[in-house]
Amino acid sequence: MAAVRVRWRRRLVVAALGTAATLAAGVLPPVGAAPERAAERGAERSADGSAGLAADRSTGHAAGQSPRRSVEAYGPEPRQRVTVHWQPRRAPRGGLVILHGGYWSYDTDWGGRARAFARRGYAVFDAGYRLAPDVRWPAQRDDVVAALRWVRRNAAAYAVDPARVAVLGSSAGGQLAVAAATYGAGASRAAGVVALSPVASPYRAWLDGGAPGATAAGRRLRASAERLAGCVPDGTPAVSADPACRRAWRSLDPRSEASGRDDAPMLLLHSAADFVPAYHSEAVAAAERARGMPAEDVRVRVVPGDAHGMRLLAEPGVEGEIEGWLRGRIG
């Protein structure tokens, strides 16, 4: 009996060691991912039951698997983080960087939408950025450029083709998305930009927010634009007698950086009664076409209703149109 008990103990030890090795192999983080996230990813795999699902041979996906998630730093500041949602696969795919709205002063939750895009096959990078009034412009644009640089540098860890990275921004994040498309050679950092209700001219929003009959949202946007710029314009065509203030407001407008063919293609969407009207985007489109961007590479779309930002995705046909536009540029 003693010999039997010894043999059984040996078998249990061997089985436990084998199980531990298997689990360790299953939760190793991708290259470039923070090691401390490995346990969290393992817990997610166990919770959704995906660890044992068979992989699709053509893509490397685990059939029915929920997207994995990790939080990575693209800079030293607490807000300089990307939350990555991705499905394991071998074949290179497109990446999508999401820029939230929130009047440049607070975060809005895009987690559900990010996971939905990840289930469609994209690797999704939900990017944070520093907020006003803690920092002034152009810190927000600098953060977006840095986040895009991080995504391209770490693309292989998520099976992303670095030449197939697009940006989706909403409201204030839409302004940042358009700024990323136009600043310098925007096409070198993004294959395309989708912007929902982009506040493409914060100065125009400031004027509108001070007009008689301005909505509460418009007045709030006016105050937010002041905090972003760090100064108050005087409402004249010169914007401000202070050269530094004048430069800040001019820099906020992506038209000041528009260069035509060097810029990323754009799909810009508003609703007919959006409190950020379509003329914000129409002015960007006109500036880009005047500098040589093909008309088909900068499209402004206006849909019925009064939806703003993320709510546009619930309007009939909008999500499908965005999906088709992205497929044509990042696959």
Query: Is 228 a residue whose pLDDT tops 50?
Result: yes
Please check whether residue 67 is in contact with residue 117, taking contact to mean a CB–CB distance below 8 angstroms: no
Return d(Cα 293, Cα 185) in angstroms, integer: 13
Q: What is the pTM of this model?
A: 0.81
216-230 average pLDDT score = 98
Residue 188, classed as helix, strand or coil, is: helix
pLDDT reported for residue 236: 85
118-139 average pLDDT score = 97
Across 43-47, 112-116, 146-150, least confident range: 43-47
Query: Is 113 a residue whose pLDDT tops 90?
Result: yes
263-285 average pLDDT score = 98
pLDDT reported for residue 65: 74
Query: Is 42 a residue whose pLDDT tops 50?
Result: no
Query: Is 4 a residue whose pLDDT tops 90?
Result: no
Under the banding of pLDDT at 50, 70 and 90, the label for residue 259 is very high
Query: Is 58 a residue whose pLDDT tops 50?
Result: no
Residue 257, classed as helix, strand or coil, is: helix
Query: Is 20 a residue whose pLDDT tops 50?
Result: no
Return d(Cα 17, Cα 29) in angstroms, integer: 21
pLDDT reported for residue 61: 41
pLDDT reported for residue 316: 97
Query: Is 27 a residue whose pLDDT tops 80?
Result: no
pLDDT reported for residue 6: 37
Query: Is 105 a residue whose pLDDT tops 80?
Result: yes
The dihedral built from the CA positions of residue 9, 15, 18 and 24, taken in this order, carries a sign that is negative
pLDDT reported for residue 235: 86
**Pairing label, strands 192-196, 160-170:** parallel
Return d(Cα 222, Cα 233) in angstroms, integer: 11
pLDDT tens-place string over residues 145-176: 999 999 999 999 999 999 999 999 999 999 99
Under the banding of pLDDT at 50, 70 and 90, the label for residue 8 is very low
pLDDT reported for residue 303: 98
Under the banding of pLDDT at 50, 70 and 90, the label for residue 47 is very low
pLDDT reported for residue 237: 84
Return d(Cα 97, Cα 177) in angstroms, integer: 9
* Cross-strand pairs, 125: 84, 97
What percent of the chain has pLDDT above 70? 81
pLDDT reported for residue 140: 98
Return d(Cα 278, Cα 199) in angstroms, integer: 9
Query: Is 32 a residue whose pLDDT tops 70?
Result: no
